[in-house]
Structures are given as structure tokens and as C-alpha cells.
Chain A
Amino acid sequence: MNVACPSALLPCISVSREVTRPLLGRAAANGALSAEAIDAALTLAALRPSRGESRDFAVRALRFAGVLSFAAGMIFLVAFNWDALALYGRFALVELPLLAALAFAFAKGTDHAPGKLALLFAVLMTGALLALFGQTYQTGADLWELFLAWAVLTLPWAVAGRYAPCWAVWLMVLNLAAALYGESPAGWSRWLAPFALDLTAYLVLEIFPVRWLRRAVMAAAMAFGTLVMIGLIFDFRGTTGLVASLEILLFLAASAALGGFAYTRKNDTFAFAVLALAWVAVTTSLIGRAMERAHAGVGSLFVIALYVIGASTGAIKAILYISRHWQAESGRQ
């Protein structure tokens, strides 16, 4: 089936593409399809969820929302700080549901949703248990240590669960630990730790087939990296020369590595959009700061606006070019 040349720079190829809603809509615009035919096409091409899929989705959503609400309720219960309950009673309130969840996951196995959700519940309850422990015994530990302990203790369950939402919760806990560490007197750069952490997590998550989690981690990494760079440009933190050099180096290396990695993988242009946004933000801050120092006046606003438009245009063109290039390559293969 013929496809028009996607770009003057690329050769024309013959490829039959997957039916998508926009493509079907454009095919229908030629008048070739009646409403009944489109109705059938939406079902045949699985562009509309079947009754069974809708039910599965509802079941998953109900279970997931149920576990989240139950776990949040248990955490609130601990936070209520019962005076009426004795020490053992308070711990039992958290530990019994935690043990029950682990026993349930062990009995049911972690290949199916109930077992996975039980482990997610256990991960959340461990946080409540550690908070209760810290509250009761006044351990004097920093907050970041609590979150780090939470992440370390629950790692085996996250591994056993092989469940993307559970990994997402676990990574959020670890990110909080890293961010709080950066903020603490012991930390030497606020956002560097979560930046480095998410970059590492992104590499590890390559073994995962869940695209949304990889994308989220990658976006979080570059968001932290961008914050690091903007902080340096506007000198918010008075960072020392060595740390600043390390931060810049890491941002440059991460951008190059992520871009190169995405380009060789040839399966997702999301990384380019994130990198483009990060770089537009950083370079715009740099230009703004330079113009402010040079007392460039009001005209600088216009220049920066034009720069933002120009840079984002260039980035979008590049992303779409790469996307079409990949399509053409896969068509040739």
C-alpha cells in the first residue's frame, strides 16, 4: 500500500500502517466509509475497549483504589496517635495487617493481581510502621533516614511483586529520601541526589516492559537535572566550584547518554521531548540571566520569547524528523 513521502529528505517507501483513530478518521474523510463501517472498524481494530476489557479495567481500578484507600486509612489511624491504646496495641494495629498482607501474598502467589496488591499494601504499611516506631521511641533519626529505611526494607517486596505501581511507590519513597538527604546538613547538593538516583533507576528499569514507568522516571530525572542547572544559573544556593562542575558535567553527560540511548533504541521519542524541554528551560534561563546582567532592558523579553519559540520549533521539527526516519527504516525492513 502506498504511503506519501513523509519528508522530502527521506525516500518514499511502501508500508501498511496500523489503523489508528486519526488515520481512520482521515480515511473516512474521503467518503469511503459509512458510520456503520466506522463503528465496526473501531471494534475490529480494537480501538474501542470490548465489554470484557471494560470489566477488567473496572476490576483493576476498584481493587487498586481499595488498597490505596485502605492503606491511607491505616496510616491515618496510626497518625491519630491513640492515647487509649497501650504500646503493644498500637504496634499490633500496624503489624497485624502488614503480616496479614504478607501472608496473603505468600499464599496467593504474586503472579496475579491480589498477591501483587497485597505486597503494595505491605510496602505502604511499612512506612506507617517506621513512622510509629520513630514516634514511639524518638530515635532521633533524620527524616531522610526514615524514608531510606522504608525503601531498603521494602525492596524485597517490590522485587517479588513485579508490579509497576508498586515500583512507582517504592521509587517515590526513595526519591523523597534522596531529596531530603540533599536538603539535610549532610547533603551537599539539594537536587543532585534525586537526579543521579533517577538516572540510575532509568537504566535499571530498561529490563522492565512497562513504558509509562520508564517515561515517568526519565522525566523525573531530567526535571531534577533542570532544577539543578537553573539553581546554578541563578546562583540560588551558592554552590561550591567542585559541586557545580560535577552538577554541570552530570547534566551534560546525562543528556548525551539519554539522547544517544533513545536514538539507538529507536522505539520512543518521549526521551527527546523531555530533553528538549529541559534544554529549552536551561538555555532560556541562561539567556535571561545574561541579559539581566547586561541590563539589556525590555527588549530582552522579546528576544527571549523569540528564542523560546525558535528553540521549541527546532526541537519539535527534530523529534518529528527522527520519528519519521524510524518509521521509514522499519518500513524498509
Chain B
Amino acid sequence: MTFEELHHALAERQLISVSEPLVEPAAETHASPWFVQAFAGAAAWIAGILLLAFLAIEIGDALAKRPGGFLLILGILCCFGSSILYATLSERSRFADQFALAMSFAGQFGIAFDLGEHFGAKGVLWGMLAVEALLVVGIGNQLHRFLSTVGVVLAWALAMHQALFGDFTKAAGAASESGTLSVLGWLLVWTPVLVAAWWLVRHEPEWMARGWEMRVRPIVHGLIAALAIAPLAMHPVTFWNSLLGLQGTPTSAALWPLLAALLALPTIALAFALRHRALLGLAILFGLLEISSFYYLLGVSLLVKSLLMISIGAILFLAGQWQQRARS
């Protein structure tokens, strides 16, 4: 449907005045498809690591002689410089745009390293949560805001995991002690994120009408992407253990991927509601990874696993058939 056709349709429904034209916006010179943004993000991420490595090595001597917090200050300066570049030059220059993103990544790595050195894991996680939240608000670039939103959720999940279950590097955390506690803790982490994403999708017309498209859209996409990717943060070691076939992961840890796979369902629904294929693909891909992880960690025999899969498969297929019949 074109804007002209939309105008007629809305005018027919008396939702817009016939005489009031619906102005089609000018072509967005900076708009780019998701795969170009993914390419830009990947390139900037690599460049950011290289930039920080260069800065860290180049000023390594100075760093050793100076009191703590030098890398933190350098990181903050990088992030600040990045926000200035975004605000002043990025609209006119793609190079500045990319450089600002790389600089911001370098700054974030720097801040995280310094916080880790002085305050340990807890300091990094809560500190980065604050930094990412500030970046979501402070830098208006859409790609940066999307990535920072994912960063906020990731930091939130890891920080909460650490606060609730102690050392997040432990394979299972409290999952081995109390299933109820684990589920409650997990809900405490993910319910706010899911509710926020759902609320924003549901109230999409309202914030669009306020002219917040550029501000809110990347946050919505970031939340959905984070709901797909970040549940891994709640079981970082169990996931990699299962993927790499490492030993020593208790079977109760299977609870994490199971919960994450369940979370993939509303995430898929949200991505579908926005008709966003890239987010939909991401949610399906990570959902499948979580399911594989669940079966791998489930401490039962192959026979039981296979019977479970066959039963679930049959139920799902029959449910699909039943839905189809109900429809037709």
C-alpha cells in the first residue's frame, strides 16, 4: 500500500481529514537494512577491540605508573567522544558514524576492564548496566541504541544472576539446590524485560503518534533481540559446557535452557507481531539452541530423551492439525 492509498483509506474512515495531506517523508539517507547494520556493527566491534588494544598497550607504561581508574577515565572519554561524534558529524559522514561506534565499543571495553580490576565481577556487571543505560539515553544513533539496549539486558541478566545465585561462573548456581528458587529468580530477571517489550509493542501506535519512532524503535528491537540472545547469560557456563561437550555440569542445570526455550515463544510472537524477519530468525535460532542445550543437559538415558522428543513432537504436530481443523 502506498501513502496515497493509505491517505484515502484513512480519510474514508474519518481518521484523517480529506483536505489534510499525509506527507510522505523524504528518503532517509541514513536508513539501511538489517544486514548492513549487522555488518557495520561487526566491523565497528572488531575496530573497537583493536583501538582499545592499541591504546592500552601504547599507554601501558603510563597506566602502570598511574593510580587506578586510568582506564576507566580513558573509557569514559572514549564514550563521551563517541557521543559528540554522533551528535555532530555522523549525519554527514559514514566514516564518523563507524568511527564513533568503534570508539564507543573501545570505551565500553575500557570501562569494563577497569571496573573488573577494581571491583570484581559484581562491579563490572552493575557498572556496565549503568553505563549501557546511560548510552541508551545519551546516544541517539539507532544502531548504537539497539546495541546498548541489548547490552543493558545482558548486564541486567548477568548482574541479577550473580546477585541471586552467587558466582555466575558456577555451572548450575542455585538450580542444583532449589528448583522453585531458581524459577522465581529467573522470573524476577526476565518478567520485567518481557513486559517492557510487550508493552512497547502493544502501545506502538501511541509512541509513534508522539513522534518517538526514531527513539523507541531501536529499544523495542533491542529488547526483543536481547530476549532471544541474553537468556544465555543466565547460564553462561552450562551453555558452553553443553555446546563444547565439557564434563561436570549437573543435570539440574537443564532447568536454565528449558526456561530460556520457553521464553523464546513470546519472543517469537513479539517478532512476528512486528513482522521483523531478522528478529524472528534470531529468536527461532536461539530457541533451537536452548532446546538442544536442554536435552544435552537432561540427565536421563537416551531412551527417555528419545521418548520425550517423540511424545512432544507428536503432541505439537497434533496440536497444529487441531488448530488447522478448527480454523477451516
17 sample A-B contacts, Cβ–Cβ < 8 Å, listed by A number: A5-B27, A18-B2, A23-B3, A26-B213, A27-B23, A35-B206, A44-B9, A49-B273, A58-B323, A68-B313, A69-B316, A70-B309, A77-B310, A79-B302, A80-B301, A274-B35, A320-B36
A174 to chain B, nearest CB (A): 20
Q: Which residues of B contact A298 (CB under 8 A)?
A: 54, 57-58
Cβ contact within 8 Å between B50 and A41: no
Contact of B6 among A25, A34, A41, A311 (CB under 8 A): A41
| Contact flag A41-B10 (CB < 8 Å), given A67-B313, A76-B302 | yes
A59-B40 contact in complex given A16-B2, A73-B308, A73-B310, C-beta closer than 8 Å: no
Do B1 and A42 touch across chains, with their CB atoms under 8 A apart?
A: no
Give the CA-CA distance A284 to B208 in the complex, in Å. 41
Residue B177, interface by CB 8 Å: no
User: How many residue pairs at the A-B interface have CB separations less than 8 Å?
Assistant: 270
Q: Which of B25, B29, B268 contacts A27 (CB 8 A)?
A: B25
Contact of B313 with A299 in the complex, beta carbons under 8 Å: no
Taking the complex as formed, is A55 at the interface, i.e. its CB lies under 8 A from any CB of chain B? yes
Note all chain B residues with C-beta closer than 8 A to A274: 35
A207 in the interface (beta carbon within 8 A):
no
**A266 part of interface (Cβ distance < 8 Å):** no
A7: interface (CB < 8 Å)? yes
Question: Min CB distance, B198 to chain A, in Å?
Answer: 14
Known: A19-B1, A69-B313. 13 other contacts (CB 8 A): A25-B217, A29-B213, A38-B205, A46-B1, A60-B320, A67-B317, A68-B313, A72-B309, A79-B302, A301-B51, A302-B54, A311-B43, A320-B36
* Cβ contact within 8 Å between B22 and A316: no
Contact status B36-A273, CB under 8 Å: yes
Q: Cα distance A42–B201 when bound, in Å? A: 12
What is the 8 Å Cβ interface bit string for chain B, positions 144-160, against chain A (1 contact, 0 not)? 00000000000000000
- Contacting A at CB under 8 A, from B29-50, are 29, 31-33, 35-36, 38-40, 42-44, 46-48, 50
- With A32-B16, A35-B206, A298-B58 already in contact, the answer to whether A66 and B320 are too (CB < 8 A) is yes
- The interface stretch among B90-98, B130-138, B189-197, B233-241 is B90-98
Q: How large is the interface on B (under 10, 10 to 19, 20 to 34, 35 or more residues)?
A: 35 or more
Q: Produce 1/0 per residue, A297-333, CB < 8 A to B.
A: 0110110111011111101110110011001000000
| Range for the number of chain A residues in contact with chain B | 35 or more
* Residues of B near any A CB (own CB < 8 A): 1-4, 6, 9-10, 13, 15-16, 20-29, 31-33, 35-36, 38-40, 42-44, 46-48, 50-51, 53-54, 57-58, 94-95, 97-99, 102, 204-206, 208-209, 211, 213-214, 217, 268, 272-275, 277, 281, 301-303, 305-321, 323-324, 327
B36 is contacted by which of A25, A47, A114, A319 (Cβ under 8 Å)?
A: A319
Alpha-carbon distance between A313 and B85 when the two chains are bound, in angstroms:
15
Contact A73 B313 (CB under 8 A): yes
Q: Is the CB of B50 within 8 A of A301?
A: yes
Residues of B contacting A58 in the complex (Cβ-Cβ under 8 angstroms): 320, 323
